[in-house]
Amino acid sequence: MARLPSLLISLLTILGLQTSGVVSRTFTMENKCDYTVWPGILTNAGISPLPTTGFALAKGETKTISAPASWGGRFWGRTLCSHDSAGKFSCLTADCGSGKLECSGNGAAPPATLAEFTLDGSGGLDFFDVSLVDGYNLPMLVVPNGGTGTNCTKTGCVTDLNTVCPSELKVTGTDGAAGVACKSACEAFGQPQYCCSGAYGSPDTCKPSQYSQIFKSACPQAYSYAYDDKTSTFTCAGGDYTIIFCPSPSTSQKASQDNTQPQPTTTPPSTTTSTSPQEINNTMEYDGGSYDPFSAASIHTFEPRVMSAVGVIALLWQLFF
Protein backbone atom coordinates (compact mmCIF):
# COMPACT_ATOMS: atom_id res chain seq x y z
CA MET A 1 0.00 0.00 0.00
CA ALA A 2 2.84 2.37 0.79
CA ARG A 3 4.05 2.12 -2.79
CA LEU A 4 0.73 3.13 -4.30
CA PRO A 5 1.04 6.93 -3.90
CA SER A 6 4.47 6.95 -5.54
CA LEU A 7 3.18 4.71 -8.33
CA LEU A 8 0.25 7.01 -8.95
CA ILE A 9 2.56 10.03 -8.98
CA SER A 10 4.79 8.33 -11.58
CA LEU A 11 1.82 7.55 -13.79
CA LEU A 12 0.52 11.09 -13.49
CA THR A 13 3.95 12.41 -14.39
CA ILE A 14 4.03 10.26 -17.52
CA LEU A 15 0.52 11.43 -18.38
CA GLY A 16 1.61 15.04 -17.96
CA LEU A 17 4.59 14.56 -20.25
CA GLN A 18 2.43 12.94 -22.91
CA THR A 19 -0.21 15.65 -22.92
CA SER A 20 2.01 18.72 -22.58
CA GLY A 21 4.20 18.23 -25.63
CA VAL A 22 7.38 17.91 -23.53
CA VAL A 23 8.67 15.05 -25.68
CA SER A 24 11.23 16.80 -27.85
CA ARG A 25 11.82 16.87 -31.59
CA THR A 26 14.89 18.23 -33.31
CA PHE A 27 15.66 20.69 -36.07
CA THR A 28 19.15 20.46 -37.54
CA MET A 29 20.36 23.41 -39.58
CA GLU A 30 23.17 22.79 -42.04
CA ASN A 31 25.02 25.46 -44.01
CA LYS A 32 26.27 24.28 -47.40
CA CYS A 33 26.61 27.83 -48.71
CA ASP A 34 30.03 29.18 -49.56
CA TYR A 35 29.43 31.96 -47.05
CA THR A 36 28.18 32.42 -43.48
CA VAL A 37 24.44 32.33 -42.89
CA TRP A 38 22.77 33.71 -39.77
CA PRO A 39 19.58 31.65 -39.16
CA GLY A 40 16.61 33.41 -37.59
CA ILE A 41 13.74 31.70 -35.75
CA LEU A 42 10.24 32.96 -34.98
CA THR A 43 7.86 30.91 -32.82
CA ASN A 44 4.11 31.17 -33.39
CA ALA A 45 2.09 33.23 -30.91
CA GLY A 46 1.10 31.40 -27.74
CA ILE A 47 3.92 28.83 -27.96
CA SER A 48 7.09 28.83 -25.88
CA PRO A 49 10.08 30.00 -27.95
CA LEU A 50 13.01 27.76 -28.75
CA PRO A 51 16.27 28.11 -26.76
CA THR A 52 17.69 30.43 -29.43
CA THR A 53 16.13 32.83 -31.93
CA GLY A 54 19.24 33.60 -33.97
CA PHE A 55 22.88 32.61 -34.38
CA ALA A 56 25.76 32.44 -36.86
CA LEU A 57 26.33 29.33 -38.96
CA ALA A 58 29.64 29.32 -40.81
CA LYS A 59 30.25 27.49 -44.07
CA GLY A 60 30.04 23.73 -43.45
CA GLU A 61 28.66 24.04 -39.92
CA THR A 62 25.56 22.37 -38.48
CA LYS A 63 23.51 23.12 -35.38
CA THR A 64 20.74 21.03 -33.79
CA ILE A 65 17.96 22.55 -31.71
CA SER A 66 15.41 20.66 -29.62
CA ALA A 67 11.75 21.71 -29.82
CA PRO A 68 8.57 20.65 -28.01
CA ALA A 69 6.55 18.04 -29.90
CA SER A 70 3.78 20.56 -30.59
CA TRP A 71 5.98 23.51 -31.62
CA GLY A 72 5.13 25.79 -34.53
CA GLY A 73 7.04 28.58 -36.23
CA ARG A 74 9.45 29.47 -39.01
CA PHE A 75 13.14 29.48 -39.88
CA TRP A 76 15.07 31.60 -42.36
CA GLY A 77 18.63 32.49 -43.24
CA ARG A 78 20.02 36.02 -42.93
CA THR A 79 22.93 36.99 -45.16
CA LEU A 80 25.59 39.71 -45.34
CA CYS A 81 25.42 40.52 -41.63
CA SER A 82 27.73 42.70 -39.54
CA HIS A 83 27.99 44.97 -36.51
CA ASP A 84 28.33 48.70 -37.03
CA SER A 85 30.65 50.97 -35.06
CA ALA A 86 28.05 51.25 -32.29
CA GLY A 87 27.73 47.46 -32.01
CA LYS A 88 24.34 47.23 -33.72
CA PHE A 89 23.86 43.99 -35.64
CA SER A 90 22.11 44.04 -39.02
CA CYS A 91 21.85 42.01 -42.20
CA LEU A 92 21.48 43.00 -45.81
CA THR A 93 18.83 40.31 -46.44
CA ALA A 94 16.13 38.85 -44.15
CA ASP A 95 17.12 41.10 -41.25
CA CYS A 96 14.87 40.73 -38.21
CA GLY A 97 15.41 44.29 -36.95
CA SER A 98 16.39 43.38 -33.40
CA GLY A 99 19.81 45.01 -33.66
CA LYS A 100 21.25 41.82 -32.16
CA LEU A 101 22.27 38.32 -33.22
CA GLU A 102 19.09 36.96 -31.58
CA CYS A 103 15.85 37.93 -33.30
CA SER A 104 13.95 37.91 -29.98
CA GLY A 105 10.44 37.55 -31.36
CA ASN A 106 10.92 39.51 -34.58
CA GLY A 107 10.25 38.07 -38.02
CA ALA A 108 12.25 38.38 -41.21
CA ALA A 109 12.03 41.53 -43.31
CA PRO A 110 11.20 40.48 -46.86
CA PRO A 111 12.52 39.25 -49.19
CA ALA A 112 13.21 36.03 -47.28
CA THR A 113 12.99 32.32 -48.04
CA LEU A 114 11.01 30.76 -45.18
CA ALA A 115 10.68 27.24 -43.79
CA GLU A 116 7.39 26.98 -41.87
CA PHE A 117 6.30 24.25 -39.45
CA THR A 118 3.33 23.21 -37.35
CA LEU A 119 4.25 20.07 -35.41
CA ASP A 120 1.61 17.66 -34.09
CA GLY A 121 -1.22 19.53 -35.79
CA SER A 122 -4.53 18.23 -37.13
CA GLY A 123 -4.68 14.45 -37.02
CA GLY A 124 -1.37 14.34 -35.17
CA LEU A 125 0.49 15.28 -38.35
CA ASP A 126 3.32 17.77 -38.85
CA PHE A 127 2.61 20.37 -41.55
CA PHE A 128 5.54 22.09 -43.23
CA ASP A 129 6.47 24.07 -46.33
CA VAL A 130 9.10 26.29 -47.86
CA SER A 131 7.57 29.64 -48.78
CA LEU A 132 8.54 32.30 -51.30
CA VAL A 133 5.41 34.33 -50.57
CA ASP A 134 7.65 36.89 -48.83
CA GLY A 135 10.21 36.71 -51.62
CA TYR A 136 13.52 34.86 -51.86
CA ASN A 137 17.03 35.40 -50.56
CA LEU A 138 18.80 32.02 -50.63
CA PRO A 139 18.23 28.36 -51.55
CA MET A 140 16.72 26.18 -48.82
CA LEU A 141 15.71 22.53 -48.46
CA VAL A 142 13.69 20.83 -45.68
CA VAL A 143 14.38 17.10 -45.25
CA PRO A 144 12.24 14.95 -42.90
CA ASN A 145 14.09 12.31 -40.87
CA GLY A 146 12.21 9.33 -39.47
CA GLY A 147 8.68 10.56 -40.21
CA THR A 148 6.08 8.57 -42.10
CA GLY A 149 3.28 9.30 -44.56
CA THR A 150 2.59 9.40 -48.28
CA ASN A 151 3.32 13.15 -48.38
CA CYS A 152 6.33 12.98 -46.03
CA THR A 153 9.09 14.09 -48.37
CA LYS A 154 11.72 16.77 -48.75
CA THR A 155 10.69 20.14 -50.12
CA GLY A 156 12.29 23.47 -50.83
CA CYS A 157 13.79 25.81 -53.37
CA VAL A 158 17.25 24.72 -54.48
CA THR A 159 17.58 27.13 -57.41
CA ASP A 160 19.44 30.43 -57.07
CA LEU A 161 16.54 32.70 -58.00
CA ASN A 162 18.76 35.76 -57.66
CA THR A 163 20.24 34.91 -61.06
CA VAL A 164 16.83 34.95 -62.81
CA CYS A 165 15.06 37.62 -60.74
CA PRO A 166 13.35 40.30 -62.87
CA SER A 167 14.98 43.70 -62.53
CA GLU A 168 11.83 45.21 -61.01
CA LEU A 169 11.99 42.67 -58.15
CA LYS A 170 15.75 42.57 -57.68
CA VAL A 171 17.45 43.69 -54.46
CA THR A 172 21.07 44.59 -55.15
CA GLY A 173 24.14 44.41 -52.98
CA THR A 174 26.73 46.99 -52.08
CA ASP A 175 27.94 47.22 -55.67
CA GLY A 176 24.46 48.17 -56.86
CA ALA A 177 24.51 45.54 -59.59
CA ALA A 178 24.54 41.93 -58.36
CA GLY A 179 21.28 40.61 -56.92
CA VAL A 180 21.28 39.42 -53.32
CA ALA A 181 17.51 38.85 -52.97
CA CYS A 182 14.31 38.82 -55.04
CA LYS A 183 11.16 40.55 -53.86
CA SER A 184 7.66 39.17 -54.20
CA ALA A 185 5.38 41.12 -56.52
CA CYS A 186 3.29 42.06 -53.49
CA GLU A 187 6.31 43.57 -51.76
CA ALA A 188 7.48 45.33 -54.91
CA PHE A 189 4.16 46.79 -56.08
CA GLY A 190 1.75 46.52 -53.12
CA GLN A 191 -1.23 45.84 -55.39
CA PRO A 192 -4.17 43.64 -54.24
CA GLN A 193 -3.94 41.23 -57.16
CA TYR A 194 -0.38 40.38 -56.11
CA CYS A 195 -1.06 40.44 -52.36
CA CYS A 196 -4.28 38.36 -52.48
CA SER A 197 -6.06 41.10 -50.52
CA GLY A 198 -9.25 43.09 -50.88
CA ALA A 199 -11.28 41.94 -53.88
CA TYR A 200 -8.56 39.35 -54.53
CA GLY A 201 -8.71 37.85 -51.04
CA SER A 202 -9.88 34.35 -51.98
CA PRO A 203 -8.57 31.39 -53.99
CA ASP A 204 -11.22 32.08 -56.64
CA THR A 205 -10.09 35.64 -57.29
CA CYS A 206 -6.35 35.54 -56.51
CA LYS A 207 -4.53 33.62 -59.20
CA PRO A 208 -0.83 33.07 -59.97
CA SER A 209 0.80 36.13 -61.52
CA GLN A 210 3.56 36.29 -64.11
CA TYR A 211 5.94 36.92 -61.23
CA SER A 212 4.79 34.09 -58.97
CA GLN A 213 5.00 31.78 -61.97
CA ILE A 214 8.71 32.61 -62.28
CA PHE A 215 9.15 31.42 -58.69
CA LYS A 216 6.97 28.35 -59.26
CA SER A 217 8.76 27.35 -62.43
CA ALA A 218 12.14 27.48 -60.69
CA CYS A 219 10.93 25.93 -57.41
CA PRO A 220 7.78 23.86 -58.08
CA GLN A 221 7.47 22.52 -54.51
CA ALA A 222 7.67 25.90 -52.78
CA TYR A 223 4.84 28.33 -52.06
CA SER A 224 4.92 30.96 -54.81
CA TYR A 225 1.83 32.92 -53.73
CA ALA A 226 -0.72 32.81 -50.91
CA TYR A 227 -3.06 30.14 -52.32
CA ASP A 228 -0.47 27.67 -53.50
CA ASP A 229 -1.49 25.02 -50.92
CA LYS A 230 -2.17 21.99 -53.11
CA THR A 231 1.37 21.59 -54.38
CA SER A 232 3.34 23.15 -51.54
CA THR A 233 2.15 21.81 -48.16
CA PHE A 234 3.72 18.59 -46.89
CA THR A 235 2.90 16.36 -43.92
CA CYS A 236 4.69 13.80 -41.77
CA ALA A 237 3.71 11.69 -38.79
CA GLY A 238 6.51 12.27 -36.31
CA GLY A 239 10.22 12.48 -37.01
CA ASP A 240 12.82 15.24 -37.00
CA TYR A 241 13.84 17.75 -39.66
CA THR A 242 17.01 18.99 -41.34
CA ILE A 243 17.01 22.48 -42.86
CA ILE A 244 19.77 22.90 -45.43
CA PHE A 245 20.89 26.31 -46.68
CA CYS A 246 22.26 26.14 -50.24
CA PRO A 247 21.73 22.38 -50.70
CA SER A 248 23.71 22.75 -53.92
CA PRO A 249 26.88 24.75 -53.11
CA SER A 250 26.38 28.37 -54.09
CA THR A 251 29.05 30.77 -55.28
CA SER A 252 26.77 33.77 -55.61
CA GLN A 253 27.68 37.39 -54.97
CA LYS A 254 27.08 36.84 -51.24
CA ALA A 255 30.21 34.73 -51.05
CA SER A 256 32.47 37.51 -52.30
CA GLN A 257 30.81 40.09 -50.07
CA ASP A 258 30.78 37.92 -46.95
CA ASN A 259 34.24 39.00 -45.81
CA THR A 260 33.44 42.69 -46.10
CA GLN A 261 31.36 45.01 -43.97
CA PRO A 262 28.05 45.25 -45.84
CA GLN A 263 26.59 48.67 -46.38
CA PRO A 264 22.90 49.50 -46.87
CA THR A 265 21.68 48.20 -50.22
CA THR A 266 20.92 50.68 -52.96
CA THR A 267 17.42 49.17 -53.25
CA PRO A 268 16.64 48.23 -49.65
CA PRO A 269 14.02 45.60 -48.86
CA SER A 270 10.87 47.29 -47.62
CA THR A 271 9.77 46.59 -44.07
CA THR A 272 6.24 47.86 -44.69
CA THR A 273 3.59 45.50 -43.37
CA SER A 274 0.42 47.30 -44.39
CA THR A 275 -0.98 44.93 -46.98
CA SER A 276 1.89 42.57 -47.68
CA PRO A 277 1.55 38.81 -47.18
CA GLN A 278 4.39 39.12 -44.66
CA GLU A 279 1.89 40.32 -42.08
CA ILE A 280 -0.62 37.64 -42.98
CA ASN A 281 2.07 35.00 -43.11
CA ASN A 282 3.41 35.76 -39.62
CA THR A 283 0.81 33.41 -38.11
CA MET A 284 1.36 30.80 -40.82
CA GLU A 285 -2.20 31.44 -41.96
CA TYR A 286 -3.07 32.96 -45.30
CA ASP A 287 -6.00 35.33 -45.15
CA GLY A 288 -9.07 33.73 -46.70
CA GLY A 289 -7.31 30.49 -47.59
CA SER A 290 -9.55 27.58 -48.50
CA TYR A 291 -7.08 25.10 -47.01
CA ASP A 292 -5.39 26.19 -43.82
CA PRO A 293 -3.41 23.37 -42.20
CA PHE A 294 -1.49 25.74 -39.96
CA SER A 295 -4.55 26.94 -38.07
CA ALA A 296 -4.54 23.46 -36.54
CA ALA A 297 -1.51 24.27 -34.37
CA SER A 298 -3.64 24.20 -31.22
CA ILE A 299 -5.43 20.97 -32.16
CA HIS A 300 -3.86 17.85 -30.68
CA THR A 301 -4.74 14.19 -30.65
CA PHE A 302 -3.85 13.31 -27.09
CA GLU A 303 -7.24 11.86 -26.13
CA PRO A 304 -6.34 8.14 -26.61
CA ARG A 305 -3.23 8.53 -24.46
CA VAL A 306 -5.18 10.38 -21.81
CA MET A 307 -7.90 7.73 -21.61
CA SER A 308 -5.31 4.93 -21.51
CA ALA A 309 -3.42 6.47 -18.59
CA VAL A 310 -6.61 7.32 -16.71
CA GLY A 311 -7.82 3.73 -17.19
CA VAL A 312 -4.62 2.33 -15.67
CA ILE A 313 -4.90 4.64 -12.68
CA ALA A 314 -8.55 3.71 -12.13
CA LEU A 315 -7.72 -0.01 -12.25
CA LEU A 316 -4.92 0.35 -9.70
CA TRP A 317 -7.23 2.34 -7.44
CA GLN A 318 -9.81 -0.46 -7.52
CA LEU A 319 -7.18 -3.14 -6.84
CA PHE A 320 -5.61 -1.47 -3.84
CA PHE A 321 -8.55 0.25 -2.21
Residue-level pLDDT at 6: 53
The residue type of 68 is P
Is 90 within a domain?
Answer: yes
Return the CATH number at 69: 2.60.110.10
Average pLDDT value for the chain: 78
Among 82, 44, 124, smallest CA distance to 284 is for 44
pLDDT of residue 116: 98
* Percent of all residues in the chain with a pLDDT value above 70, rounded to a whole number: 70
Of the chain, the end-to-end C-alpha distance in Å amounts to: 9
- Report the number of distinct structural domains present in the chain: 1
Higher-confidence position of 108 and 309? 108
Q: pLDDT by residue (tens digit) across 144-159?
A: 999 999 999 999 999 9
E-assigned strand segments in the chain: 24-31, 38-43, 62-68, 72-83, 89-93, 114-118, 126-131, 140-145, 155-157, 170-172, 179-182, 234-236, 240-245
Note whether residue 2 is domain-resident. no
- Give domain status of residue 3, yes or no: no
pLDDT greater than 60 at residue 13: no
Contact 73, 79 (CB under 8 A): no
Residue 15 located in a structural domain: no
In a domain, 91, yes or no: yes
- Residue 117 belongs to a domain: yes
318 pLDDT band, cuts 50/70/90, is low
CA dihedral 270, 276, 279, 281 (to 10 degrees): -110
Residue 234 forms beta bridges with which residues?
A: 128
CA 118 to centroid of chain Cα atoms: 9
Provide the 3-class DSSP secondary structure of residue 9.
helix
* Domain-embedded: residue 18: no
Of the two residues 288 and 151, the one the predictor is more confident about is 151
170-203 pLDDT tens trace:
999 887 768 999 999 999 999 999 999 999 999 9
Assigned domain for 312 exists: no
Instruction: Give CA–CA dist 156/215, Å, rounded.
Output: 12
Length of the chain: 321
Domain that includes residue 95, residue range: 25-294
